[in-house]
Amino acid sequence: MSEDEDADSLEQEVLEAEAAEWEAFESRFPPKDFLGVASALKIRDREIFARLVWSLRDDFYSFHRDCQTKWPSRGTEIERLRELRAAASLLASPGGWMPLDPLEIDLAFDPFGEVKEEQFLAIIKRLATYWDERLARLEAGPSAAGRRSHDAFHELIVALIRTYQPITMKRARRPSTRFNKPGYYGDFYQFAIAAWRCLRENLPEARHLIPKSEDALGEALRNHWPKKGTGAHKLIDTQVARWGLN
C-alpha cells in the first residue's frame, strides 16, 4: 500500500471514529428531551422543532468536546478541523465515498447490519457542518494557546445565542434585572434555562462546569455576554443583519 493510500485509509478511520462518536452522543439526546426547550420558545411547528434539536445537539456536542481535559494548541486544532472538514465534505460529495466491501460498513457501524450507506453519508454531512461551524467559532475566538476546560461554558453561551436567533427570528438579549425584584428576566434567559436543564439532565458528567442554579445561570450570562468588538459579537451581529432581527 502506497503512502497516499495509507493516508487515505487513516483519514477514513478518523472520520469513521468521529462519526461513531457523534452517533453515540446523539443517542443521549433524543428529540423528546428537547420538548422543554420548545415549550419555552412556544414552538409547535415540526420543522422548526427539528431545526432546534439539530442545532442544540451541535451546541452540546461542541461543549462536550470542549470539556475534554487535554487540548492541542489553537493553531493545531484549527488545522485539524480544516482537514476533517475537507475530508468529510469530499466523502459526502457524489462519488466521494466508494466502499470496497459493503460489509465493512455494517461491521464498523452496526454489528446487526441495520445501518445503510445513506445513513452513513448523512452523518458525514452533519460532521462536515459541525466542523465548519466549530472552525468558525475557534477562528473568531482568542488567540491564546490552548483552552481551559472551564472556558467551555463561555463558548456555549455564544453557541446558544447563535442557535436562538435564527430559530426565533429575534435578537438575543442579555438577561435583565428589575428594580427591587429578585432574579433575572428575558426571553433568551428562559430559553437558556430550558437548554441548561436539558444539558444537566443528559450530560451529568459536565455538571461541574455549568452553573448550579437558574440565578447562577443568569449571572453567568450577564457576566460573559459577548462584548462589542469581539469575534463572537461580530458573528452574532452577522446573523442580526442577515435576517433583519430586532
Q: Using one digit for the tens of pLDDT, what is the confidence trace for 5-63?
A: 555 676 677 778 888 888 899 999 999 999 999 999 999 999 999 999 999 999 999 89
9 against 102, higher pLDDT: 9
Mean pLDDT of 62-82: 72
Burial class (CB in 10 A: 0-12, 13-18, 19+), 155: buried
239 against 90, higher pLDDT: 239
The whole-angstrom separation of Cα 47 and Cα 83 is 32
Average model confidence (pLDDT) for the chain? Answer: 79
Mean pLDDT of 114-134: 65
**Residue 86, H or E segment:** helix 74-92
pLDDT surpassing 80 at residue 88: no
What b/e sequence results for 36-47 when a residue is b if at least 16 CB atoms lie within 10 Å of its CB, and e otherwise? Answer: ebbebbebeeee
Beta carbons of 89 and 174 less than 8 angstroms apart: no
Mean pLDDT of 209-213: 93
Collapsing DSSP states into helix, strand and coil, what is residue 90?
helix
Q: Work out the percent of the chain whose per-residue pLDDT is above 70.
A: 72
Highest-confidence range of 76-85, 185-194, 235-244, by mean pLDDT? 185-194
pLDDT for 233 equals 84
Beta carbons of 192 and 160 less than 8 angstroms apart: yes
What confidence tens digit (pLDDT) does each residue in 126-178 have?
A: 777 767 777 776 666 554 444 444 578 888 999 999 999 999 999 999 999 98
Which residues 6+ apart lie within 8 Å of 136 measured at CB? 235
pLDDT surpassing 60 at residue 98: no
The model's confidence at residue 114, banded by pLDDT at 50, 70 and 90, is: very low
What b/e sequence results for 106-136 when a residue is b if at least 16 CB atoms lie within 10 Å of its CB, and e otherwise? Answer: eebbeeeeebeeeebeebbebbbbbbebbbe
pLDDT for 5 equals 58
pLDDT for 140 equals 65
Mean pLDDT of 78-88: 76
Angle at 48 between CA 47 and CA 51, to 5 degrees: 90
75 against 8, higher pLDDT: 75
pLDDT surpassing 90 at residue 217: yes
